């Protein structure tokens, strides 16, 4: 339950007291990400309504929820999930949290948040699952930016346990703290991003890696296949055991500092996308969705790769299970 208490909080602040069982959530957008985010909230005990205007996609959601919740071991909470075709079908007087999962276009997100500001009760929290747009940019010009916050999941959201809680320039810290607690109660590992930068935390790290990797391909230093092997079977293999800070304590900070002093000056810092990537995008080679990206794809190889990928994620999840928040 999200409670606004004017007497106990400064103007514009929000006091949140809740458990998942007391929290009613609306997820706007019933695509793959939106459906998985809904499952994450429902497994924690939140009542979740997914708003999906597309008839075809909306019709698929009930079966998807049954399969996903059963896979997660929370089939007893399938009843917490429901579907609506429009914002107008929602009883907004009951909604405590809204999570936006619409396409990654700033105009669509701004238009939606302008509507949500009118529909949602004043104390409801409005969150965006944007992967790159700062929440301050999405909330620009709106009156209740203190309750607006980034909530960035990683695909597939029901298997990847991390979620970023991203503060906008005007986000109330109490909103962020309470949302982090809610996500923890839903079994997620919440990380706080205190400054609203493009890409937030994890995507900035990913793109720093990708920029260097693809520039090395452009320069003929290595192949795409060897890049993947070096990450998966080399240093990336250790990340399931420890992040970069903990790994440096294992190896010795002086070793890393010495290596960095030698390597950093030669790293790629170009603002331009690598040619091996930009050329493929320009020619319409987007990956599995178009039949070719960095590699060629058929229906059979797509299925095989997705099955392998999901199996590997599930195996990794079992390894770190003891370190994850417990769901009550």
Domain ranges of the chain: 2-193, 202-272
Task: Give the side-chain half-sphere CA count within 13 A for 295.
Answer: 10
Task: Classify 202-272 by CATH class.
Answer: mainly alpha
pTM: 0.90
Give pLDDT tens digits along the chain (328 positions).
444 333 333 434 454 547 899 999 999 999 999 999 999 999 999 999 999 999 999 999 999 999 999 999 999 999 999 999 999 999 999 999 999 999 999 999 999 999 999 999 998 999 999 988 888 889 888 888 889 999 999 999 999 999 999 999 999 999 999 999 999 999 999 999 998 888 899 999 999 999 999 999 999 999 999 999 999 999 999 999 999 999 999 999 999 999 999 999 999 999 999 999 999 999 999 999 999 999 999 999 999 999 999 999 999 999 999 999 999 8
Please give the sequence-ordered ranges of beta strands (E in DSSP) within the chain, or none if there are none: 2-3, 15-16, 24-28, 47-51, 81-84, 97-100, 125-128, 148-153, 162-167, 189-193
Torsion of CA 207, 213, 219, 223, to 10 degrees: -140
Residue 285's SS3 state is: coil
Q: What is the CATH number of domain 2-193?
A: 3.40.50.720
CA distance 76 to 69: 8
Peptide bond into 156 cis (omega under 30): yes
Residue 236 neighbours by CB under 8 Å, 6+ apart: 230
């Amino acid at each position: 339950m999200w409670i606004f208490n004017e007497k106990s909080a400064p103007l514009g602040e929000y006091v949140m007291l809740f458990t998942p069982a007391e929290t009613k959530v609306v997820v706007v957008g019933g695509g793959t990400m939106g459906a998985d985010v809904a499952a994450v909230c429902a497994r924690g005990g939140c009542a979740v309504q997914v708003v999906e205007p597309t008839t075809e996609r909306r019709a698929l959601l009930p079966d998807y929820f049954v399969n996903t919740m059963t896979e997660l071991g929370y089939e007893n909470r399938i009843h917490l999930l429901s579907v609506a075709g429009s914002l107008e079908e929602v009883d907004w007087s009951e909604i405590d949290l809204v999570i936006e999962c619409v396409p990654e276009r700033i105009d669509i997100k701004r238009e939606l948040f302008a509507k949500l500001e009118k529909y949602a009760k004043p104390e409801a929290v409005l969150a965006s699952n944007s992967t790159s747009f700062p929440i301050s940019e999405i909330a620009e010009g709106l009156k209740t930016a203190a309750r607006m916050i980034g909530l960035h999941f990683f695909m597939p959201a029901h298997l990847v346990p991390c979620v970023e809680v991203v503060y906008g320039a005007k986000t109330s810290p109490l909103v962020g703290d309470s949302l982090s607690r809610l996500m923890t109660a839903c079994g997620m590992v919440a990380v706080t991003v205190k400054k609203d930068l493009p890409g937030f935390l994890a995507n900035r790290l990913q793109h720093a890696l990708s920029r260097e990797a693809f520039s090395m391909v452009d320069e003929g230093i290595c192949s795409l296949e060897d890049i993947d092997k070096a990450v998966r079977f080399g240093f990336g293999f250790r990340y399931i055991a420890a992040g970069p800070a903990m790994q440096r304590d294992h190896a010795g900070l002086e070793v890393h500092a010495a290596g960095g002093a030698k390597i950093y000056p030669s790293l790629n810092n170009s603002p331009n996308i690598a040619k091996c990537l930009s050329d493929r995008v320009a020619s319409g080679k987007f990956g599995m969705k178009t039949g070719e990206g960095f590699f060629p794809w058929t229906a059979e190889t797509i299925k095989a790769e997705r099955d392998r990928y999901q199996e590997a994620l599930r195996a990794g999840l079992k390894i770190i299970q003891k370190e994850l928040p417990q769901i009550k």
